[in-house]
Amino acid sequence: MLAHDLKPYSRHEASGMKALADRHVGHYTTIDHESDIMLGAIKIDLNRNLGTFVGDVEHEVAHCFETQFPPCEDWTPIDLHEKLLRVVAQASARIFVGYPMCRDERWLECSTKFATDVMTGGEKLKQWHPWLRPVAQYFIPEMTRIRGDHRRALELLLPELRKRKAKLDDPDTSPHNDMIRWMQDRAKNTEDKSFNEKELANLQMLTATAAIHTTRLAIIHALYDLAARPEYIEPLRNEILDVMKDGDGVLQKQHLTQMKMLDSFMKESQRHSPPSVATYQRKAMVPIKLSNGFNIPAGTIVQCNTNILDQTPAEWGDPHAFDGFRFYQLRSKPEDANKFQFASPTYDSMQFGFGRDACPGRFFASNQIKIILAYILSHYDIKFDEGVVGRPKNFMFEVNVLADPTKMVLFKKIQ
C-alpha cells in the first residue's frame, strides 16, 4: 500500500525520468533530458489525436507486411524481434514525423539504432568507476555512436523542416498533423527560446526510444502466448472480423475500443510478461516520509515489484493460470465495463506505472499493439515449430523481461 504514498508527489519531487536516467547513465547517454514540450505533445496532443491516426497506422502496418515479410504461402519461420522492429518503428514514425518520412529507411535505422546504442553504451559505461566515466565514454563505441545518432537525426530532419517552412504561405497546403508540428506549436505558444531544430531532432530520438522497443516487446510476448495457446486464435480473430463489419473492413477508432477480448488477452499477456519486474520507479528529489514512518532521503530510487502474482485480487481467479479472457469476464458487469483495460494503471496492475505520472504514452502503445495484432490475426495463422513445447521461458536482463530471441514463430497467410 506504500505505493499510494507517492501519488501526491509531482514529477519534480518524485521523478520517473531521473530514475530512468540513473539506470542508463543518462548524463552520458543523453536521455537525462526532461522536456515539457515533449511531455505535453505526448500527454495532450498525441492522446487527443490517436483516433484520427488509426487508419494511417494500419496502412503503414500493411505496407510493412507487404514489403518486409516473405509471402508465407506455407508455414514460414519469422524472426519477430527483427521484423516487428521495422513494423513498430514505421507505424510510430507515421505519427511522429508524418508521411513520407515515416518510410525513409535512413530515418527508421537512426531512430531504432539510437535506443540500442543507449542501452548497450550505458551498460558498458556503468562498469567504469564514476570518476573515470568522463574519459571512459570516449573508449566505448556505442557512446560515440549516440553522438552520431543525434547528428544524423538532425541531418535527416532538416530537409523536411525546410520543406514544411516553405509551404507555410501556400493556402492550398493543409498543415501537418504529427508530433513535429505539435512540438513546434508548443514551443511557439510558450515562447520557449531554447527550442530549435537540434532540440526537435533530439526529442524525436527520445520519443522513438520510449515508444518503439517496449511496444515491439509487448507484441512479441502476446504472439508467443498465442502460438503456445492456439485455442485463443479463432475467438480473437472472430471478434476482430466482427467489429470491423460496420467499417467495410477498414479499421476505425471505435473498433479498437470494441475489441474487448483482444484487450483482455493483451493485459493477461502483460501480467505474466511485464516489460519490467520493477515499475513505478521514482527518484526522490526531495525527502519523502511514508505512512509507516519510513523516511526516503533525497536522491534515493524506489520502485515496486510487478511480478508478485500471489498478490492478485481474489476475484480475478487463479493468479498463476494464464486466462486470456480473465479481464473480458471481469468487464462483463455493467459497473465494470470501463475497468480492467490494458492501458488502465491501477494498484493491482502497475505495468504502466501508477498515479498521475503514469506512462503518458500508454494509450498510444495500446492502439499500436491492437492494430498490429489485429492485422496479424486477420491475415495469418501462427504457431511454434514442432520442436517448441509450451510457452518459451523469458530471459531476464537486469529488471527487463525479454522474450526468448532464439525461438521463431511460424506464419502462414490465410487464403
Running along the chain, 415 residues long, what does each successive block of 10 average in pLDDT? Answer: 83 88 91 91 94 94 96 95 95 95 96 91 94 96 95 97 86 85 95 92 93 94 97 97 81 92 97 90 92 92 82 88 95 89 89 84 95 97 90 89 93 94
Question: How many C-beta neighbours within 10 Å does residue 320 have?
Answer: 8
Q: How many C-alpha atoms does 28 have within 13 Å on its Cβ side? A: 30
Handedness of CA 349, 369, 84, 182 (dihedral sign): negative
Which residue type is seen at 128?
W
What is residue 137's predicted lDDT score, i.e. its pLDDT?
95
The whole-angstrom separation of Cα 173 and Cα 166 is 11
At residue 346, the pLDDT reads 86
Q: What pLDDT score does 389 carry?
A: 87
Known binding-site positions for heme: 359
Cα–Cα nearest to 305, from 341, 273, 333, 278: 278
Could you tell me the three cell numbers for 253?
Answer: 477508432
Distance CA 346, CA 374 (A): 26
pLDDT score recorded for residue 59: 95
pLDDT value for 1: 66
**Cα dihedral 193, 198, 202, 205 in deg (nearest 10):** 130
Provide the annotated binding site: 359
Walk me through the domains of the chain, giving residue ranges and CATH numbers. Answer: 3-413 (1.10.630.10)
Q: Give every CB contact of residue 71 below 8 A, 6+ residues apart in sequence.
A: 413
